[in-house]
C-alpha cells in the first residue's frame, strides 16, 4: 500500500514513523500547508514533500491517505481522496459537523473504499485486554462505566488552533473526550439518553468548554459517566467497567499518562478483594496496531475497528451532549 | 454530659464505645426495640438498658440523645427529645422527608438545644486535611469535585430494612451517597442546578436505586460529580477537588475502604508531576472527632460542624437529584 | 480450656480480648508485676487479677498459660508452668539464651504439654496465602527471599525495657526481626550459612543494634536477605519470595503497616507483567488465628505451627547472625 | 565535537540518536565488527560506517569516541583512542580487570583527555532529585541504602556474549548491578567493608552469578545493601536512602521498569506518614543528560560526573564483593 500523509503537525509526526514498521506499506509523500513543515518531516522519513493537500490527493500512485489536519479540513480532503478511489484514515473527530461526516460515509460507500476514524485508543493494549475480558463474559452484563480523561493544557493553549471555533468542532469533550465517548459506545452499544454539564473555567476558550461531565444511558439502563477535562493538572486516563459479576479497569496510557494497567476482578461477597493486574510497560503501540487494522480492513474489504460509522456516531453523541448541556434537559438519542 | 443512645444496631454499636474516650461524657442508657439487643450492648458498655425509645427520651437525668435508629424514626424521636430540652446527635439522613427535617430544626430552635446530623465523614482525617488545604487557598478557586463512594452490598441486602421504602428515605444515594453530597456542599457551597441518572441494576430494591450518578453545579459554575453505588464490588471512597491552582484528593477511609490518604498538588506546566501525600494508617477516628465536636458545640452554644441545617440541605439535594432523574431535566435549586 | 495470662503490657492487652472469640476458651486470670496494670486489664476482661507470675502458674484450675512478659522471664515462667502440666504459648523471642530455650523444650517434652512460640506472623492472611501458593508449587523451586521489616521507634525508646540488655536477648533483629527470620526459615527450611552487618545508628541502645542486615543461605543455595530496622521512619513489612517459575509477595500487615496484600505472578518472558493481587482490608486477625492453632494443637496433641522448636531455631539463627556480624565472617550453621 | 561510535549493538543503537539532540555534536562515523550492523545504524543516523574499531580511532577528524563494545574490548579501544588525543565515553563496566582500568586512567592522564564511564543512572531524573535532596541535608546523616536492581533475562541468555566469561568481567552484579554499586558509592562515599552471597540459580551462566546480595559498610558505619538479580521476573529498580532525619526513595526507571518516582519524607514521630512524591513520566532522558555532562566536562577540562576513576572504583568494589563471596569472610577495602 502506497500512502500519503496530509498534515505534518503533532499527529502527522506521530503517525509517519509508524508506517515504517510495515513491509507492505510505503510512505510516498507528506504534505503540509507550510512547505518547511512538510519538508522537515518528509526528509526525516525519506519520502517526498508537498504543499497543500491537493497534490497528495491527486496522485495516481497513492492508494491511501492519512488525514492529520485540523478538523475543519477533514471532510473536504477525505471526500476528495475517496472520490479518487483512495482509502482514508482520518483523525478524530471525523468531521466538524454531522452533515460533513455523513457526506464522508456516503463518499466511502460510493467509491467502495475503506474509511477509518483515528480512534487509536481502541488499540491500546489495556483496552484490548478489557474488551477481551468483557467479551468472555467474565464480568457479566454491564452496569456502568466511569471514564475520566484529562490533561492540563499548556501556556498559550487559548491561542492554538484547538481553541479556534472556526477550526474545531467543539471543546475538550470533542477533542480528547471523544475517545472516551467512542470507547463507552464500543463496550456498551448505542445510547438512548444523555445529560451533561459543561464549563469553561480556566482556559479562555469560550465558547469551547474546558470541562465536560456527561452521563449516557443505554436502552437497557447501563450508564456511562464521562469526565473530559483540560484542567486535569496531572494527566489522567481511567476507564472502569462494572458488570453484574465483576469489574474491569484500565489505568494509564503509558508516557505522560503513567504506566498502562488492566485490572480484572470477580464479584465475591465472601473472599478478600482479589484482582488480576496486567502492566503494559512498553511504549505506546496503539498507533502501530491501528495501522495494522487499517491495512487488514482494506485488504479484507471489511469495516475496520473504529470505522467511519463509529466516527459519525461518536460525533453525534458529543453533539447530543452539548445539546443537553445547553437545553438543560436529558436528550433522547 | 449524660447521654442515652437509641438504637443498638450497627451504628449504635459503633458509636457507644466512642463515648468512653471522653471524661466529660457518661453513657447512661442504651435502648432498642428488641430487649436482647439493648441488653447485650448495654452490658458490654456497663450502662442501663431500655426497650423502645420513649424511656430514654423521658429520663430527666439525660442531657443528650444519640439517635441511631432507622430513618423513619429519626424525626419523632429527635423532636420528642428536643422538646424535653435534650441535645440530639441524629444519624444521617437527618429524616425521611423535608417536612420532618424542617420540624426537627424548628424543635431545636424552639428548645434552644443543639441538633447535629451524623456526618462523620467531615471528621475523617483526610477530609479534615483537605479542608485545611482548601481553606489555605493553595489550590485556588474550585473548578470541580469528583466523588465516588460505593460498596458491594451483601447477600440478602434486599431483605434488610435499608431496602424497605417504608423505613428509608431513598436508595444508595440517600443512604451512603448523602455523605458525598454533604462533603461536596461543604467544600463548594450551595448548588444551583442538578442533573442525575439512577438505576436499580443488581439488587432487587426497587424503587430504591442501587446506583446514582449526580452532577451538581454551583451558581459560580463549579461542578460536583458524584457516583454513589451499591455495586462497587471493591469498596471505594474517592474525593478529588480541582482548583485553578492545584488539586486535593482523599482516597480510602481506612478499614475495608483501604488506607486513608490525602494528596495535595500544585498546578505546574513545567515541572514533573509532584504531590504531597499523607497516609493516615490508624483506625477510623471520625466517630471520636464527631463526638468531640458535638460536645464542644453544646458547651459553646454554637452550631456544630455538620449541623441540623446541613442535614436538611443534604436531604434537599438528594431529593432534587431524584426529581431530576425522574423528570429527566436539569433541576434548578 | 481455662487460661491465665502473665503480663499486662502491650502484648497482654493485645492477646486477652482475642480469647473472648472462642467458646471453648475461658480467660480465668491475668497477672502483672504491678497490681494496677493487672487489675485494669482484668476488669475490662471480666476475669480475676493477680500480682506476679507465681499465683497464675500455681493455680490448679488453669490449663494453659500465655506468657506475655519481657524475654528474661519467658523461660522461668514457662518451665514452671509446664512442670505443673500447663500448656504454654510464650511470646517471641522464646527465651533469652539457647540454653533457656532448650530447657523449655525439655520441660515440654517431659511434661507432655504443648509449647508454642508467639510467631503470630505465620497466621497473617497474606502469609497464609503465600504459603498456600508456595505449597502448590506454582512458583517452583525457591531462589531467594527479600524480607524488610521495620518501624521508626518512638521518643524515649532507649529508656524502655526493650533497650535493656539485662531484659532482652538482643536488638531490633531479636525483637522484631525474629519474625522475619522465622518466616524465612518456614518457607526455605534450615539454613547452612549466614553473614550479617549490624549497627546502632540512631537510638542509644548499644550494645543492641537498631539495624541488622542479614543474608542466610540454605544448603541448596537459596538466599534469604533480611533487613530489620528501628529507623524505618514509615512502618514497613515486605516479604518477597522468588522461585524459578514465579514470585510471591506480601506487603503490609494492616494497621500502621498499611493494607495487607498478597501478590502472585508467574514467570513469562513474552507476556506483559501480570499479577494476581489479594487485599486483606480487615483488621489484624493473626492473633485470633494463632490462638485457634494453639487450642487445636493442644486438643490434637500435636506440634503447633510456630512450635517451641521453631522458637529455638529462630533464636539460634539470630545468635548466629550476631556472631557473623561480630567475627566478620560467614558463619556455618 | 566530532564523534565516532564503536559498537552498533544495543548500546550503540541507544546512544547514537541522542547525539542528534546536540548542535555542538556531530556524529561522524559508526563502526562495528559486522559491516551490516554498522551500515544499518549509520544509514539511519546519516553518518559513515566502518568495520572494526581501528578505523574510527585512527581518524584525525574525530574528537571523541563512544565505546559501546562488549567489556573485553573497552580497554584496548579506549587506550588507543586516548593515546591519539581523543576523549572517551566508555560503557560500564569500565574494563574487565582492575589493571586494564588503571591503564585507562593512566592513558587519560598522560594524554590530557577526558575519560568518562557510562554510568547513565547518575543522570536519571529521580536520582538527580535524590542527590539534590540529599545534598540539601534534609534527611541528615545517612544510615543505610537499600538498592534492588533486577531483570528477568530472556530465553537464550546463556548463549549471549553477556554470559561468556572470556568477554565479560562478571555476572549480573558486574553487568547491571554495577550501576547500583556506583550509585551507593556516589551517595555514601568510599566503603570500608563488604560481605556478599552470590548464586547461579536459574541461568546456566556459571561461573557468572545470576543473583548477588551485597552488604557494604562505610568507615562511618552506614550500610548499603544491594541485590542484583537476573531472576527478577518483573523488572525492578528501587533505591532507598534512610538518614537520621528522613528518607529518600527512587522507584522505576521509566519504560519496562515502570514510571520513575522520587520520594522524600521527614522523620516525624507524631504526625501521620507524609511524603513528597515526584513522578517523571517522560521517556528516559538519562542518555541525553549523560552526553551533555560529557561535552561540558570536555569543554571545561574537568572530571565528569561518573568519571573514569568512578568506573575504576565501582569495578574494585564488585571484585571485592566477589572475593567476599568466594572466601566467605567480610573483606576489608
User: What per-residue confidence (pLDDT) applies to C271?
Assistant: 94
Q: Nearest chain C Cα to B257, which residue? A: C281
Nearest to B125 among D125, D272, D279 (CB): D272
Chain B residues touching residue C259 (CB < 8 angstroms): 258-259
Chain D residues touching residue C266 (CB < 8 angstroms): 233
CB contact under 8 A, D279 and B274: yes
Cell numbers 461518536 correspond to: A314
Question: Is C282's pLDDT higher than 90?
Answer: no
Residues C294-320: tens digit of each pLDDT: 999 999 999 999 999 999 999 999 999
Helix, strand, coil % (nearest 5) of chain B?
Answer: 40, 25, 35
User: What per-residue confidence (pLDDT) applies to C286?
Assistant: 96
Closest CA to C247 of C273, C266, C261: C266
User: What per-residue confidence (pLDDT) applies to A208?
Assistant: 96
Separation between Cα atoms, residue A251 and residue A240, nearest integer Å: 8
User: Closest Cα of chain A to B281: distance in Å?
Assistant: 19
- Report DSSP state, residue D255: G
Separation between Cα atoms, residue C5 and residue C62, nearest integer Å: 10
CB contact under 8 A, B277 and D274: yes
User: What per-residue confidence (pLDDT) applies to A44?
Assistant: 86
Question: Is B44's pLDDT higher than 90?
Answer: no
Q: To the nearest 10°, the Cα dihedral for C132, C137, C139, C140?
A: 140
Residues C116-174: tens digit of each pLDDT: 999 999 999 999 999 999 999 999 999 999 999 999 999 999 999 999 999 999 999 99
Chain A residues touching residue B220 (CB < 8 angstroms): none
* B21 contact C CB<8A: no
Contact A68, A286 (CB under 8 A): no
Distances (CA, A) of B176 to A35, B149, B152, B194, B315: 60, 8, 12, 18, 12
Residues A33-84: tens digit of each pLDDT: 999 999 999 998 989 999 999 999 999 999 999 999 999 999 999 999 999 9
The number of beta carbons lying within 10 Å of the beta carbon of residue C255 is: 16
* A154 contact D CB<8A: no
**Residues comprising chain A, all counted:** 333
Distances (CA, A) of A300 to A60, A64, A66, A293, A311: 22, 15, 19, 10, 20
* B267 contact A CB<8A: yes
User: What per-residue confidence (pLDDT) applies to B17?
Assistant: 94
* C154 contact B CB<8A: no
User: What per-residue confidence (pLDDT) applies to C11?
Assistant: 95
Task: Report whether the peptide linkage leading into residue C293 is cis, meaning its omega lies within 30 degrees of zero.
Answer: no
User: Closest Cα of chain C to A129: distance in Å?
Assistant: 11
Chain B residues touching residue C235 (CB < 8 angstroms): 281
Question: Between A and C, how many residue pairs show a Cβ–Cβ distance under 8 A?
Answer: 40
Chain B residues touching residue C281 (CB < 8 angstroms): 235, 255-258
Chain D residues touching residue B281 (CB < 8 angstroms): 272-273
Given B39, B92, B159, B292, the catalytic residue? B92
Mean pLDDT of C83-105: 98
User: Closest Cα of chain C to D203: distance in Å?
Assistant: 10
Given D86, D92, D116, D204, the catalytic residue? D92
Residues A131-165: tens digit of each pLDDT: 999 999 999 999 999 999 999 999 999 999 999 99
For D247-268, b where at least 16 C-beta lie within 10 A, e where not — what string?
bbbbbbbbbbbbbbbbbbbbbe
Cell numbers 513491509 correspond to: A23
Residues 6+ apart with CB under 8 A from D87: D1, D63, D64, D65, D113, D114, D115, D116, D294, D298
D39 annotated active-site: no
Separation between Cα atoms, residue B124 and residue B93, nearest integer Å: 18
D219 phi-psi bin (left φ>0, alpha ψ -120 to 50, beta other): alpha
Question: Is B98's pLDDT higher than 90?
Answer: yes
Separation between Cα atoms, residue A47 and residue A70, nearest integer Å: 22
Chain D residues touching residue B274 (CB < 8 angstroms): 276-279
Per the DSSP assignment, residues forming a β-bridge with D212 are: D198, D228
* D46 contact A CB<8A: no
Mutate one of B273, B279, B282, B283 to test the D interface: name it (highest D CB count within 10 A): B273
Q: Nearest chain C Cα to B279, which residue? A: C258
* A144 contact D CB<8A: no
* C275 contact A CB<8A: yes
- Place A333 in a pLDDT band, splitting at 50, 70 and 90: very high
- Across chain B, how many H-helices and E-strands are there? 10, 15
Cell output for D76: 584496548
Residues C173-222: tens digit of each pLDDT: 999 999 999 999 999 999 999 999 999 999 999 999 999 999 999 999 99
User: Closest Cα of chain C to A252: distance in Å?
Assistant: 15
User: Closest Cα of chain B to A71: distance in Å?
Assistant: 26
Mutate one of A277, A283, A285 to test the C interface: name it (highest C CB count within 10 A): A277
User: What per-residue confidence (pLDDT) applies to D44?
Assistant: 86
CB contact under 8 A, C258 and B259: yes
Separation between Cα atoms, residue B84 and residue B59, nearest integer Å: 9
Separation between Cα atoms, residue D2 and residue D62, nearest integer Å: 5
User: What per-residue confidence (pLDDT) applies to D236?
Assistant: 98
Q: Phi then psi for C49, rounded to 5 degrees? A: -115, 155
Residues A90-99: tens digit of each pLDDT: 999 999 999 9
| Strand-strand pairing, A87-90 and A115-117 | parallel
Residues 6+ apart with CB under 8 A from C87: C1, C63, C64, C65, C113, C114, C115, C116, C294, C298
Q: Nearest chain A Cα to C270, which residue? A: A280
Residues 6+ apart with CB under 8 A from A24: A1, A295
Report the sign of the C-alpha dihedral through residues A136, A139, A144, A145, in that order.
negative
Separation between Cα atoms, residue B91 and residue B94, nearest integer Å: 6
Q: Could you give the ipTM of this predicted complex?
A: 0.96
- Report DSSP state, residue D303: P
Contact B267, B244 (CB under 8 A): yes
User: What per-residue confidence (pLDDT) applies to C44?
Assistant: 86
- Place A283 in a pLDDT band, splitting at 50, 70 and 90: confident
Neighbours of chain C (3+ CB pairs under 8 A): A, B, D
Contact C127, C260 (CB under 8 A): no
Separation between Cα atoms, residue B224 and residue B228, nearest integer Å: 13
Mean pLDDT per segment of 10 residues, for chain D of length 333 residues? 96 95 96 96 93 96 97 98 98 98 98 98 98 98 98 95 93 98 98 98 96 98 98 98 98 96 97 97 94 98 98 98 96 94
Separation between Cα atoms, residue D257 and residue B181, nearest integer Å: 40
- Residue-averaged pLDDT of chain B: 97
Residues 6+ apart with CB under 8 A from B181: B173, B214, B216, B226, B314, B317, B318, B321
Chain A residues touching residue B268 (CB < 8 angstroms): 233
Given C39, C92, C159, C204, the catalytic residue? C92
Contact C94, C168 (CB under 8 A): no
Residue D114 C-alpha from the chain's centroid: 17
H or E element that contains C46: none
Separation between Cα atoms, residue B333 and residue B316, nearest integer Å: 9
Amino acid at each position: 500500500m502506497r500512502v500519503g500523509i496530509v498534515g505534518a503537525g503533532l499527529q502527522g509526526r506521530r503517525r509517519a514513523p509508524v508506517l515504517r514498521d510495515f513491509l507492505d506499506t510505503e510512505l510516498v509523500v507528506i504534505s503540509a500547508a507550510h512547505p518547511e513543515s512538510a519538508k522537515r518531516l518528509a526528509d526525516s522519513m525519506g519520502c517526498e514533500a508537498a504543499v497543500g493537500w491537493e497534490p497528495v490527493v491527486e496522485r495516481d500512485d497513492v492508494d491511501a491517505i492519512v488525514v492529520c489536519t485540523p478538523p475543519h479540513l477533514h471532510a473536504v480532503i477525505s471526500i476528495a481522496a475517496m472520490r479518487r478511489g483512495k482509502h482514508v484514515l482520518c483523525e478524530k473527530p471525523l468531521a466538524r459537523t454531522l452533515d460533513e461526516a455523513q457526506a464522508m460515509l456516503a463518499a466511502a460507500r460510493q467509491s467502495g473504499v475503506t474509511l477509518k476514524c483515528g480512534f487509536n485508543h481502541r488499540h491500546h493494549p489495556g483496552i484490548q485486554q478489557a474488551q477481551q475480558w468483557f467479551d468472555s463474559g467474565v464480568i457479566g452484563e454491564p452496569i456502568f462505566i466511569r471514564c475520566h480523561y484529562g490533561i492540563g493544557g499548556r501556556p498559550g493553549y487559548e491561542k492554538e488552533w484547538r481553541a479556534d471555533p472556526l477550526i474545531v468542532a467543539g471543546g475538550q469533550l470533542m477533542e480528547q473526550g471523544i475517545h472516551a465517548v467512542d470507547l463507552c459506545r464500543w463496550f456498551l452499544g448505542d445510547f438512548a439518553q444523555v445529560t451533561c454539564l459543561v464549563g469553561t473555567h480556566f482556559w479562555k476558550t469560550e465558547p469551547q468548554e474546558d470541562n465536560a461531565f456527561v452521563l449516557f444511558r443505554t436502552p437497557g439502563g447501563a450508564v456511562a459517566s464521562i469526565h473530559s477535562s483540560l484542567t486535569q493538572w496531572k494527566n489522567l486516563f481511567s476507564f472502569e467497567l462494572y458488570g453484574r459479576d465483576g469489574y474491569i479497569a484500565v489505568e494509564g496510557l503509558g508516557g505522560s499518562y503513567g504506566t498502562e494497567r488492566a485490572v480484572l476482578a470477580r464479584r465475591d461477597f465472601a473472599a478478600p478483594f482479589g484482582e488480576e493486574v496486567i502492566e503494559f510497560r512498553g511504549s505506546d503501540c496503539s498507533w502501530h496496531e491501528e495501522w495494522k487494522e487499517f491495512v487488514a480492513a482494506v485488504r479484507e474489504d471489511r469495516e475496520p475497528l473504529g470505522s467511519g460509522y463509529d466516527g459519525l456516531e461518536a460525533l453525534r453523541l458529543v453533539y447530543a451532549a452539548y445539546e443537553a448541556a445547553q437545553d438543560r434537559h436529558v436528550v433522547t438519542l
